[in-house]
Amino acid sequence: MRLLAHRDTQESTTAGVYGVIVGAAVMAAAHAESVAALDAAVLGTLLVYWTAERYARLVARRIHAGHRPGREEVRRELATGWEIVTATLLPLAVLSVAGRVGADLDTAVLLGLGCSTLLLALAGWEMGRHGALSRRERGLSTAVATALGLAMIVLKSLLH
């Protein structure tokens, strides 16, 4: 699995980071009754986000270009941005495995959120490295990305 910060394009890196954050937010806020239901809620939410983003891009393209996007443009648009969904697969796998080995739902969610936080921290560090940031700037990039994951853990604690 490629790190979030080392995707092919700026858009795919953005979508990957955004996907992990949205997936973590759903894990933290959902009131699911089981790990399977939570997995479905996270994947369903991310698919809705992906669909909404693709739709918004196509509509915006029509508005700004002044004509309907062609079949090739639509196909190209629908083939991109999947990182918003796929980047969350590892945290969802951690959540699922934890549930299968007997962890209660709250523990499984915290493990999934911990994985999301680790992915965000690694992405912050890698973005700094690939962005040619100084060591101090890389540290700040990592701290901000980690704080986003930690915010989801705090949210989980406050909501449940």
Pair 152, 115: CB distance under 8 Å: no
The number of folded domains in the chain is 1
pLDDT per residue, tens digit, the chain (160 aa), is 355 654 568 888 889 999 999 999 999 999 999 999 999 999 999 999 999 999 999 999 889 988 888 999 999 999 999 999 999 999 999 999 999 999 999 999 999 999 999 999 999 888 877 788 888 999 999 999 999 999 999 989 888 7
Dist. CA 137–CA 54, nearest whole Å:
32
Domain residues for the domain of 122 are: 4-159
Residues 6+ apart with CB under 8 A from 133: 127, 141
